[in-house]
Structure 1
């Protein structure tokens, strides 16, 4: 099994490049960083898991800059967006940023995408109506793939439109880096089934993870695709242990991503605590 590490990547934590080096040395196959372009001070949208919003949400570093620094400091570890909120970016600029990151990392990028959970965050930077966010993400991914693969690309859709343009560089991975969709609901699963190269759900979002994965496999089959051809990278925040990793592996998860706490001291204790698990399970 592949084991990934997902630190909070906050500005009061260790440097991203340092985390990437340590993760690579410890046997992790991938380093995952999230994204929030902004967190509205209104706090009208409640966090999906309830409770107070942790400080690291509004103190995350930029994922592109962070992973570029990590790429320069490492040679093997995969660099993963977990996830990029693609609707909060201008499409041509996003295509260039992703392609550049894949190029400078020699094709080590895993491009996780998502729609986010905060209505006000999206409204601050986009005119996409909240109920249509998944439709807009579908168009965004389709347009990105065109821009990465073709010398001259154009797109005309409901949410994404641009005239024929040249956007370079192209990604090292062709026709583009794998697109993983982060979600845990039925609508998101249908989108994964339709066009994603991978699925990265949170294990804390399911009452029974077995039911969730079976629902996912059914959605993929209904879309006419092979569930075994869409790798699962399971975000594990619910007290990972050997039994849990064995369960996820038996259910078809290719990778388990360990969600780490914020703060340098807490992160260091976390890494030491779970090193035996990494040693036992990592490929």
Structure 2
């Protein structure tokens, strides 16, 4: 099982130095990937539509809390690394015009020698959709169409014709082309039936979040059922989930986390067939050190 790490891009830990130090630590430690997260606006009051319960450790969304934009952050990280893959976990696709996003990601993929991953989500915050002028009720169909359009633009440098419900391209092509034929892999975030349908129909993989191994195993079986029904080979999908590591007291280099317990936790995800485990270390005292320790004892 490969390991990825969420960069310190939000909250009190977010800084240029922290992002760069964590990315370099992941690269040096043999980790597979580093990941950004996405937020366009912060609400001045409790937001509507949050999909997870409070016992999942819901993030405190509030004005004044730092949160770096993911595309810009990925460019910074690509410039100081050579090997690790760089992804979004997840990017809210319907917030962005897909032609602009396709050009941005194609450029990043070209400049990073093919290391970009698009973790694609449909978003949830009602107030954010309203401020951006995007109907929240259309977030699913907009995401599906955006992925199809971006793939068309990435597939060839020739002119493209695309006539969709939301966007139309008439005999035009991207000026930047991704390093990899077909463009960056698209991993779909979410655990709903619609998200899992999207994984098999449009994605190159799945990005789960905040699920324990038993819950993750159930989702993997739901994906497998859809894959078998469509005839899609298992080898075409990268199965990933994201977990948080929290301090538990004590003063060891992992901020009080019990290395043995964490090792057992990682092994449980590997045993059920997770290909890539993305670990959020932003709540630990020093993310670069945590990355080095975790990657070291996990044999990344």
Q: State if a TM-score over 0.5 links the two structures.
A: yes
The equivalent of 1:234 in structure 2 is: 241
Matched residue, 1:112: 119
The one of 260, 269, 272 aligned to 1:251? 272
Structure 1 stretches of 5 or more lacking a match? none
Question: Which residues in structure 2 correspond to 1:45-194 (within 5 Å)?
Answer: 45-51=48-54, 53-54=59-60, 59-127=66-134, 129-150=135-156, 151-194=158-201
Aligned CA distance change for structure 1 residues 126 and 217 (closer, same or farther; 3 Å): farther
1:195 matched to 2:202? yes
Cα gap change, 1:218 to 1:56, in 2 (>3 Å): farther
Q: Distance in 2 between matches of 1:69 and 1:273?
A: 21
Match of residue 41, structure 2, among 35, 38, 41: 38
Instruction: State how far apart, in whole Å, the 1-side matches of 2:188 and 2:245 are.
Output: 20
Structure 1 residue 237: Cα displacement = 2.1
Task: State the distance in 2 between where 1:206 and 1:244 align.
Answer: 8
Alignment RMSD: 2.4
SS of alignment partner, residue 124 of structure 2: coil
Number of aligned residue pairs? 278
Offset of 1:279 from its aligned partner? 1.9
List per-residue Cα deviations over 1:98-127 (Å, max 9, x = no partner).
111111111111111111121221232243
Aligned residue for 1:2?
2
TM-score by length of 1: 0.88
TM-score w.r.t. structure 2 length? 0.84
In the other structure, the counterpart of 1:24 is: 27
Q: Classify the secondary structure of the residue corresponding to 2:191.
A: coil
Query: In the TM superposition, what is the alpha-carbon distance from 1:200 to its structure 2 partner?
Result: 0.8
Larger mean Cα displacement after TM superposition, 52-61 or 242-251: 52-61
Structure 2 CA distance for aligned equivalents of residues 210 and 112 of structure 1: 20
Q: Which runs of 5+ in 2 are unaligned?
A: 247-260
Q: 3-state SS of the aligned residue for 1:175?
A: coil
Q: 1:207 to 1:46 in 2, by over 3 A?
A: farther
